[in-house]
Each structure stands twice: as structure tokens, then as C-alpha cells.
């Protein structure tokens, strides 16, 4: 599956999260799409401060907590707080072993994907406020039961002119990933199709009484939609590696979706590092170390851990955030038991943050936010009922019932999900506890 698609799917469940929702170092109860988990968010906020001040070198974070307590959500929040154009690369430990390239190559690529390079160039760009946005959705090519964006049209307007542009799939995905909506001011590089979100237009921000601490308000530009101007490219070291290894292709004409999984030689990487160093010296580029998020890290083996340990000591390394829900377990590739299945020299580098199960009210607020971002209207009674289900079973289960409940509602020609629709899907899809009970009961009967 193309990497862009895989990453898109993984990030979609957390699209409601725009930051950690802090005021100074204190967490607001509900802000930036985040609910509760106050201590973990405040700890994460401190980490962000240290990273920004360059005091986090050589360290890493470990998020520990039961499934569905917001570990991935928190990592997403950290990446958002680090700022625009800062890469966030989520991988699961099992992916490292299933990749068709060598383990170390996969890891090197992953680390280099998480180092952003912001390049400034004079380019032809389309610039303006998004007036209309139509994105077509189609079933996924390998998984027809999920929908993915396939293309669409976008209408941009300046103070003086307007223009409608057609877009392809990677363009549509990049718009969604950046959360581009009508009322945003954006720039599009005319030759590569790269998109940069500049901010929210003053008019749109005033109309929706936007929270000015999290929204960047900008003026709508003047002049024609297409113009010559300095464009800022958020690239990554890995994208530059790929461009460089395809000799003759300008790195500026690269679409981010066109990446192949193959090995990249050391010389190529050295040339890229040299080019980037020059650009930085000339003031034409800035380096933005990002975040690699490694989920299920207790499944990593000893070789991988020592590779990561070594790379954290290097001059240019991203922030590594591990997550696990395992306690004492053996380190893969050894007979040693260790906390979280991690070798001690790595454990020494870690700041550990725990995420705790949610209260019913917190589950309710998360469901409210998720339903809004999935555009699923809920009757208050349905929301209350889902919150009950979530606290009796799990947050994930309740979140997962949203989409099927909406289907039932639509089938009954109802515009909103009512309690009865949730009851219906609760009967159809059982939660883990009920599925285990069911099998146990079944087994007992079989033994009699
Ligand atoms: N504190 C929170 N605020 C808002 N949404 C949350 C919060 N915690 C979890 N979620 C959302 O609930 C779902 C499950 O959480 P997730 O981060 O995947 O849990 P974990 O990674 O610990 O298994 C995701 O959609 C996530 O974005
Ligand atoms: Mg997770």
C-alpha cells in the first residue's frame, strides 16, 4: 500500500487533535481536541518545552497505559505543539519486520522521514483564500470498505481575483492531512502541487469567533491568484534522499506520494546532508527535527533497540516516542526479562508518562468531539448511552459504534443517531468482554 495512504489512515483517528490544549504548563480540561488525561498532557507539555529549548537531546519518551487511553492521541498532540511542518511519523513495531527492506534501512528511512527541512525558494505559486472545496471519495483500492479521497476541485480567491483548480489524489490527501477547509488561506506550488496552509482568513475567523490562541489569523492576499513569490517547502531528509537517488529529478518537482520502498545508498544520504548543510548556511533552509512514534515497542528486538539507542546520540536525530501496554516481558532476541521488554541502557534515557483509563464524563466528551469530526450528528440521549457503553466496556468500542449507528440511522431516514440506533448496533457488534464470555459459555456447553 502506498505509504501516504497508510499514514493517512493511521492519522485519521486522531484528526480532532490539534495540540495538547495547555495554558502555560497547565492543561485545560477540554481544549485542542483533548479531554482529561491532565497529568499526562502536562508532562507532555514540559517535554515540548524542553524539546523547543534544545534540552531533550539524547532522550526519548515512553508512554505507558492500557489500550485506548490516548497514547497515540498524546503523541499526536506533542507533534502538533512542536509546530507546523514538523514531521510526525507513526510506525508500529511489527511493521519493521514485515517491511520488504532490511531492518536497519527501514529504521534509517523512518528516522530521516522525521527530520523536516524547510526550504525557501522563489516559485510560481497559487495563493488565496479557499472559497470552495470539493473532495471526491471512493472505496480504497485494496480495501473497498474504507473510503479514501481521490481528487476534487478547489476554488481560491484573492482580494482581486479567483480561480478554480482541479486536484489529484495525493493533492487531496495532503489537503485533508493539513486540515484545509474553506476560509483558510493557502499556497500551492504551481509545479509540484505542494500545499502550505498559511492561516485562517480574518473574515472566517471573526465569523466563527475562533480561539485566537490556536488559530493563526491572516489577511487575504491581493493581486492575481497565480504569482511569483517565495514559497516555503516543508520537505524531509528522506524525501530529499529519494529525489537525489532519482538522478536528474529536481527535488522541487517531487510529489510526496510517489515514494518507493527501496534501499538508498550511503553516498546519496551524504550528498543530501551536504546540500542541506549548504542551504542552511546560506539561510535558504531550516532544519526541523520531528517525532517518530513507535507503537507496540515491546515487540522491538535487541538489535533495533541498540540501533535506536545509537542514533539518538547523533547530531541530527528526531524525538523518539515509544508506546506500550506491556509490563515486565522478555526483550525480543534475548532471554532477558525487562520492564516493558526494553534494554536497560535505553530505559535509562526515557522519560515515562502514564496514561490512565477515562471517567464516564471524559468518555462522553471524547465521543462528542469524535462525532463532530466524523460529522455524525447524535441525539443527546444517544451520546449519554454511548458514554455508558464506553465506561462499561472501552472507549474504543464506543468510538467504533459511531459509524455503524449512523448507517442504521440513515437507513431509517433519520438525520441524527438516536439511542435506539446505538442499541441496535450494540446488539449486532459485541465488545471484547461479551465475546470472551460468549466463547467461554460455548466451550462449557461443548464439554458437557
Ligand atoms: N484525551 C483524549 N482526548 C481526545 N481524544 C482522545 C483522548 N484519548 C484518546 N482519544 C481518542 O480515542 C481513540 C483511542 O485512543 P488512542 O490514542 O488510539 O489510544 P491508545 O493509543 O492508548 O491505544 C482515538 O481516536 C483517540 O484520538
Ligand atoms: Mg495507540
Q: What is the largest CA-CA distance in the chain?
A: 82
Indicate whether 134 belongs to any domain: yes
Q: Which residues line ligand 1 (CB under 6 A)?
A: 13-14, 17, 33-37, 65, 67-73, 355, 366, 395-396, 399
The preferred substitution site among 10, 11, 12, 14 for testing ligand 1, maximizing ligand atoms within 8 Å of CB, is 14
pLDDT of residue 10: 56
125 shares its domain with 225: yes
Which is the closest atom of ligand 1 to the Cα of 396?
14
CATH number for the domain spanning 343: value is 3.40.50.300
Residue 200's CB is within 10 A of a number of other CB atoms, namely 21
Domain count, the chain: 3
CATH number for the domain spanning 382: value is 1.10.8.60
Indicate whether 261 belongs to any domain: no
Q: Which of 208, 232, 256 is the last residue of a domain?
A: 232
Which is the closest atom of ligand 1 to the Cα of 36?
1
Indicate whether 7 belongs to any domain: no
131 shares its domain with 95: no
Is residue 62 classed exposed, middle or buried when 0-12, 13-18 and 19+ CB atoms within 10 A define those classes? buried
The whole-chain average pLDDT of the chain stands at 87
Query: Ligand 1 centroid vs 359 CA: distance in angstroms?
Result: 13
The band of 260, judged by pLDDT with boundaries at 50, 70 and 90, is low
300 shares its domain with 197: no
Q: If you take atom 27 of ligand 1, which residue's CA is the nearest one?
A: 14
CA-to-CA separations, 364 to 39, 342, 369, 398, 415, in angstroms, rounded: 19, 35, 9, 10, 21
Residue 81 bridge partners (DSSP):
none
- DSSP for 142-189, please give it: S-TTSEEEEEEEEEEE-SS-EEEEEE-HHHHHHHHHTT--TTEEEEEE
Which whole number is the average pLDDT over 402-420?
93
Which is the closest atom of ligand 1 to the Cα of 73?
17
Q: Is 218 helix (H, G, I), strand (E, B) or coil?
A: strand
- pLDDT above 50 (res 258): no
Taking the C-alpha atoms of residue 193 and residue 254, their distance in angstroms, rounded to an integer, is 9
And the C-alpha cell for 177?
Answer: 492531512
Is residue 35 classed exposed, middle or buried when 0-12, 13-18 and 19+ CB atoms within 10 A define those classes? buried
Query: Ligand 2 centroid vs 257 CA: distance in angstroms?
Result: 24
Identify the residue with better confidence: 321 or 93.
321
**Ligand closest to CA 91:** 2
219 shares its domain with 148: yes
421 shares its domain with 324: no
CB-based contacts of 2, cutoff 8 Å, min separation 6: 257, 259
210 shares its domain with 133: yes
96 shares its domain with 135: no
Query: Ligand 1 centroid vs 389 CA: distance in angstroms?
Result: 16
And the C-alpha cell for 208?
Answer: 466563527
Q: If you take atom 10 of ligand 1, which residue's CA is the nearest one?
A: 70
Place of cell 532490511: 102
Q: If you take atom 25 of ligand 1, which residue's CA is the nearest one?
A: 13
**Ligand closest to CA 29:** 1
Which is the closest atom of ligand 1 to the Cα of 355?
22
Q: Which residues have C-beta under 5 Å from ligand 2, the single-atom ion? A: 71-72
- pLDDT above 90 (res 262): no
The band of 3, judged by pLDDT with boundaries at 50, 70 and 90, is low
- pLDDT above 60 (res 170): yes
The number of C-alpha atoms within 13 Å of 341 and in the hemisphere containing its C-beta is 23
Taking the C-alpha atoms of residue 429 and residue 434, their distance in angstroms, rounded to an integer, is 10
Residue 413's CB is within 10 A of a number of other CB atoms, namely 6
Place of cell 527530520: 115
Q: Which of 354, 386, 402 is the last residue of a domain?
A: 354
Domain range holding 61? 22-114+290-354
pLDDT of residue 56: 83
Indicate whether 140 belongs to any domain: yes
Which helix (H) or strand (E) segment is 436 a member of?
Answer: helix 432-447
The preferred substitution site among 28, 366, 391 for testing ligand 1, maximizing ligand atoms within 8 Å of CB, is 366
- DSSP for 316-348, please give it: S--EEEEEE---EEEPBTSS-EEETT--HHHHT
**Ligand closest to CA 69:** 1
402 shares its domain with 433: yes
103 shares its domain with 139: no
Q: What is the pLDDT of residues 177-236, one digit of tens each?
A: 788 889 999 999 888 788 888 889 998 888 877 666 567 889 999 999 999 988 888 889
Indicate whether 38 belongs to any domain: yes
And the C-alpha cell for 265?
Answer: 545508498
The answer to pTM > 0.85 is: no
CB-based contacts of 432, cutoff 8 Å, min separation 6: 393, 394, 397
Percent share of the chain, pLDDT over 90: 50
The band of 1, judged by pLDDT with boundaries at 50, 70 and 90, is very low
Indicate whether 64 belongs to any domain: yes
Q: What is the pLDDT of residues 76-88, one digit of tens each?
A: 999 889 887 788 8
159 shares its domain with 199: yes
Indicate whether 258 belongs to any domain: no
Q: 296 near 92, Cβ under 8 Å?
A: yes
pLDDT of residue 7: 55
Indicate whether 61 belongs to any domain: yes
364 shares its domain with 343: no
Q: What is the pLDDT of residues 21-31, one digit of tens each?
A: 999 999 999 99
Q: Which of 232, 257, 279 is the last residue of a domain?
A: 232
CATH number for the domain spanning 148: value is 2.40.50.360
Query: Ligand 2 centroid vs 294 CA: distance in angstroms?
Result: 9
- pLDDT above 60 (res 72): yes
- DSSP for 79-117, please give it: HHHH-TT--EEEEEHHHHHHSSS-HHHHHHHHHHHTEEE
pLDDT of residue 254: 45
- pLDDT above 50 (res 292): yes
313 shares its domain with 409: no
Query: Ligand 2 centroid vs 76 CA: distance in angstroms?
Result: 10
The preferred substitution site among 9, 34, 72 for testing ligand 1, maximizing ligand atoms within 8 Å of CB, is 72
Amino acid at each position: 500500500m502506498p505509504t501516504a495512504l497508510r499514514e493517512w489512515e493511521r492519522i485519521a483517528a486522531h484528526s480532532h487533535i490539534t495540540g495538547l490544549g495547555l495554558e502555560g504548563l497547565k492543561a485545560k480540561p477540554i481544549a485542542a481536541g483533548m479531554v482529561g488525561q491532565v497529568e499526562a498532557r502536562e508532562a507532555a507539555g514540559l517535554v515540548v518545552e524542553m524539546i523547543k529549548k534544545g534540552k531533550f537531546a539524547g532522550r526519548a519518551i515512553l508512554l505507558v497505559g492500557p489500550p485506548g487511553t490516548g497514547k497515540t492521541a498524546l503523541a499526536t498532540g506533542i507533534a502538533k505543539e512542536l509546530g507546523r511542518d514538523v514531521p510526525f511519523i507513526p510506525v508500529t513495531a511489527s511493521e519493521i519486520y514485515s517491511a520488504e527492506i532490511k531492518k536497519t534501512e527501514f529504521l534509517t528511512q523512518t528516522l530521516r522521514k522525521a527530520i523536516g527541512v524547510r526550504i525557501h525558494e522563489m516559485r510560481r505559486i497559487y495563493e488565496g483564500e479557499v472559497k470552495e472545496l470539493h473532495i471526491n471519495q471512493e472505496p480504497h483500492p485494496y480495501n473497498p470498505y474504507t473510503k479514501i479521497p481521490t481528487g476534487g476541485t478547489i476554488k481560491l480567491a484573492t482580494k482581486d481575483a479567483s480561480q478554480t483548480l482541479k486536484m489529484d489524489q495525493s493533492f487531496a490527501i495532503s489537503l485533508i492531512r493539513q486540515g484545509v477547509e474553506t476560509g483558510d488561506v493557502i499556497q500551492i506550488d504551481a509545479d509540484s502541487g505542494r500545499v502550505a496552509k498559511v492561516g485562517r482568513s480574518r473574515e472566517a475567523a471573526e465569523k466563527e469567533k475562533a480561539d485566537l490562541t490556536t488559530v493563526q489569523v491572516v489577511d487575504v492576499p491581493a493581486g492575481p491568484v497565480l504569482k511569483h513569490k517565495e514559497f516555503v517547502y516543508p520537505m524531509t531528509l528522506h524525501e530529499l534522499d529519494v529525489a537525489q537517488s532519482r538522478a536528474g529529478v529536481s527535488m522541487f518537482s517531487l510529489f510526496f506520494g510517489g515514494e518507493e520502498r527501496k534501499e538508498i545508498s550511503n553516498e546519496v544520504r551524504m550528498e543530501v546532508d551536504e546540500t542541506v548543510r549548504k542551504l542552511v548556511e546560506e539561510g535558504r533552509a531550516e532544519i526541523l527535527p520531528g517525532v517518530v512514534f513507535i507503537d507496540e515497542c515491546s515487540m522491538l528486538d535487541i538489535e533495533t533497540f541498540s540501533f535506536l539507542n545509537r542514533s539518538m546520540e547523533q547530531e541530527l536525530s528526531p524525538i523518539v516516542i515509544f508506546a506500550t501496554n506491556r509490563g515486565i516481558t522478555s526483550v525480543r532476541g534475548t532471554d532477558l526479562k525487562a520492564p516493558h521488554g526494553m534494554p536497560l541502557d535505553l530505559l535509562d534515557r526515557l522519560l515515562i508518562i502514564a496514561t490512565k483509563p477515562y471517567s464516564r464524563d471524559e468518555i462522553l466528551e471524547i465521543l462528542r468531539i469524535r462525532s463532530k469530526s466524523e460529522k455524525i450528528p447524535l441525539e443527546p440521549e444517544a451520546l449519554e448511552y454511548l458514554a455508558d457503553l464506553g465506561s462499561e466496556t472501552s472507549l474504543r468500542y464506543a468510538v467504533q459504534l459511531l459509524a455503524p449507528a449512523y448507517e442504521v440511522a440513515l437507513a431509517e431516514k433519520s438525520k441524527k443517531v438516536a439511542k435506539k440506533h446505538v442499541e441496535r448496533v450494540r446488539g449486532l457488534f459485541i465488545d471484547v468482554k461479551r465475546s470472551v464470555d460468549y466463547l467461554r459459555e460455548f466451550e462449557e456447553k461443548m464439554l458437557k
